[in-house]
Amino acid sequence: MVTGDGWVWHHQQPVPHEHGTESSSERPPRSQHIDWHGRYPGLVLLNGPDQRRTVALTFDDGPDDKWTPRILSVLSDLRVKATFCCVGQRVKDHPDVLKRIVRAGHVVANHSYHHPNLTKLPKERIRTEITTTNEAIMRTVNLSPRFVRPPYGAINRTVIDVIQELDMKLLFWNVDSLDWSGLTSAQVASNVLSHITPEAIVLMHSAGGRGESLQGTVDALPHIVQVLRREGYTFSTISELLGEPAYQT
């Protein structure tokens, strides 16, 4: 399908391959998928509750000093507020970028400290991955996130127990851009736009593994925002979308 601004939508799944921190091998196989949202609707969050024509853009794996600043500049030009799910080690390495995220009015969420598959860790190490990330964010911007985006979307009963004990929320998504896998900007845009629903939570990335390019994300964002605004959508942070506080008090 050709849009009025010359873009071609052609939804295409990438060829599975290993790529940076978002290794496809760590994602649970479809045969093992469990409807955790159905079991824990107030804890495992996939989308907003009210079917308003608004969308929450979320960006995983930052902050870094290459792609995160570029995405922040694009969002500023577009006047869009988003949610950044941050890795604790990268918060430690790039505190000034995290400060820029907060100054710009975006929401910060927890994406673990080392980006492990939490389901492969014992309970106390899961807790440490979450709490040390919140501590790093608190030291940097004086905020303690309430939302946790589990790496690879991998959770089990032990992960849920830890999140409940910490009085936090698991932040999932219902639209996956698959941008981490080296897609072009047209493919990223197509993956988002062909799956958008009211109050969708969109998974994108603002950093990646060594040598990983997110140029497709940077270039796709203006088109995604333009098309959705033309269709009557607005953009929200995750706390606005869900009506829940972004930070612990």
* Catalytic residue list: 60, 205
Own/partner pairs for 1-10, CB < 8 Å, 24+ apart? Answer: 3/227, 5/223, 5/226, 7/186, 7/189, 7/223, 8/186, 9/186, 9/189, 9/190, 9/193, 9/194, 10/186, 10/187, 10/190
User: CA–CA distance from 237 to each of 25, 47, 174, 200 (Å)?
Assistant: 30, 12, 15, 11
In this structure, are residues 147 and 82 in contact, taking their beta carbons and an 8 Å threshold?
Answer: no
Q: What count of residues does the chain have? A: 249
CA angle 239, 236, 224 (to 5 degrees): 140
User: Which residues are bridge partners to 183 per DSSP?
Assistant: none
